Copies of this chain bind each other. A is one copy, B any other.
């Protein structure tokens, strides 16, 4: 047994694939299965295990992918957003740098124990975090053409996959991940593979729409191929996805920096949106979670009440309460944490959000309202208590320890 972050994992007996489908609100799968678009999943739910789990809040990509590969909450691994304010340097920075990691991954530990590991992500931003400290194959669809043996443990990925390099804003970016996985499983037969897609489709299209169903059908074909190759497959998601618009169809936004500037005067509070990353065209950096750094003159208790009364606000917590409730590293989440409701997002101020790239009614995530995610294993499970609170970061535990 291998112990990582205080949890024990059995070495893989058969090739084991953990898949994180970005933005996979469970209803995407339900609707596609109902319409006969996911025959593999339909059979898997009948013969294997289909559960609902809770993701990490903030329900964003980086914290959840890192939770899945570490089997731990952000309080353990340190990644609490895609983006943070670093009080030490006084700057706002992307949280893509492995320097922010405070825990090793299961992948790295398996590799150290001599297992062959492969990681394929859609966007390159995740690759560095997920591959940190890990020997093996690790590349992204986005930069597949740049993969080298030295950096990525593999080269000539485009030839391997047989698909053109996909656009970063496309469903094809995710398809490339699955296509690469099948080819890798055939050629390299890794002991453990971790796949992570992008939520480009989910940000635009609701469950049951033709585009969403087509995406699910695409996944199903590749997952069926991996299954046929003898893999144990555990599928989960980093977060769900909800419509976030007002009655007129435009984004329903609480502009929180603007609110603070009006309430307290400019410069008294700094609102951080941890959804921010280099790719915001499809959501305009609008999500349902924000952290706020207050000037020392403003006690958190003074603003929490008024914030809670804002229309569309769901939960407002001071630093320590938020760190405890959501299992977050308290030194990295600001003085106040704001979570907006199912249909509402939080922005800074209107001028700082470019919504010109939004070509569909906004769908986004970040809140507690996007915490439900699928947790599916193509095997029956042993020893999972029916009252256990399941998390998406139990995926490796289920796949390695519980799959029969």
**Measuring CB to CB, which residues of chain A are less than 8 angstroms from any residue of chain B?**
26-27, 29-31, 33-35, 41-42, 45-46, 50, 52, 206-209, 243, 245-250, 309, 311, 343, 361, 372, 374, 376, 386-387
Cβ contacts A to B, 8 pairs, < 8 Å: A27-B245, A29-B247, A31-B243, A31-B249, A34-B250, A45-B247, A46-B248, A206-B207
The 7 lowest CB-CB distance pairs between A and B, nearest first, are A34-B249, A50-B247, A30-B245, A33-B249, A45-B248, A34-B361, A30-B249
The answer on a CB contact under 8 Å between A245 and B208 is no
Least Cβ distance of A278 to chain B in Å?
Answer: 27
The answer on a CB contact under 8 Å between A33 and B248 is yes
Least Cβ distance of A325 to chain B in Å?
Answer: 18
Q: In the complex, what distance in Å separates the CA atom of A374 from the CA atom of B252?
A: 14
Least Cβ distance of A242 to chain B in Å?
Answer: 9
> A50, A206, A248: which has the most chain B beta carbons within 10 Å?
A248
The answer on a CB contact under 8 Å between B248 and A50 is yes
The answer on a CB contact under 8 Å between B30 and A248 is yes
* B residues near A30, Cβ cutoff 8 Å: 243, 245-249, 361
Q: In the complex, what distance in Å separates the CA atom of A207 from the CA atom of B250?
A: 15
The answer on a CB contact under 8 Å between B27 and A343 is yes
Pick from B26, B35, B45, B309: contact of A343, CB below 8 A. B26
A28's nearest neighbour on chain B, judged by CB, is B247
Least Cβ distance of A61 to chain B in Å?
Answer: 22
The answer on a CB contact under 8 Å between B209 and A208 is yes
* B residues near A361, Cβ cutoff 8 Å: 30-31, 34, 208
Pick from B27, B42, B247: contact of A33, CB below 8 A. B247
A344's nearest neighbour on chain B, judged by CB, is B52
* B residues near A41, Cβ cutoff 8 Å: 247
* B residues near A248, Cβ cutoff 8 Å: 30, 33-34, 42, 45-46, 50
* B residues near A376, Cβ cutoff 8 Å: 247
Q: In the complex, what distance in Å separates the CA atom of A372 from the CA atom of B250?
A: 18
Other CB < 8 Å A-B pairs besides A30-B247, A46-B248, A343-B372, 10 of them? A26-B343, A27-B245, A27-B343, A30-B243, A30-B361, A33-B247, A42-B248, A50-B248, A206-B207, A247-B376
The answer on a CB contact under 8 Å between A243 and B27 is yes
A206's nearest neighbour on chain B, judged by CB, is B208
* B residues near A208, Cβ cutoff 8 Å: 206, 209, 361
Q: In the complex, what distance in Å separates the CA atom of A42 from the CA atom of B243?
A: 18
* B residues near A311, Cβ cutoff 8 Å: 52, 386
Q: In the complex, what distance in Å separates the CA atom of A264 from the CA atom of B207?
A: 39
Q: In the complex, what distance in Å separates the CA atom of A35 from the CA atom of B376?
A: 35
* B residues near A26, Cβ cutoff 8 Å: 247, 343
Q: In the complex, what distance in Å separates the CA atom of A311 from the CA atom of B45?
A: 17
* B residues near A207, Cβ cutoff 8 Å: 206, 243
Least Cβ distance of A284 to chain B in Å?
Answer: 15
> A50, A247, A361, A372: which has the most chain B beta carbons within 10 Å?
A247
Least Cβ distance of A375 to chain B in Å?
Answer: 10
> A50, A207, A246: which has the most chain B beta carbons within 10 Å?
A246
> A27, A343, A372: which has the most chain B beta carbons within 10 Å?
A27
Least Cβ distance of A373 to chain B in Å?
Answer: 11
Least Cβ distance of A123 to chain B in Å?
Answer: 26
A36's nearest neighbour on chain B, judged by CB, is B249
A246's nearest neighbour on chain B, judged by CB, is B30
* B residues near A50, Cβ cutoff 8 Å: 246-248
Q: In the complex, what distance in Å separates the CA atom of A41 from the CA atom of B364?
A: 24
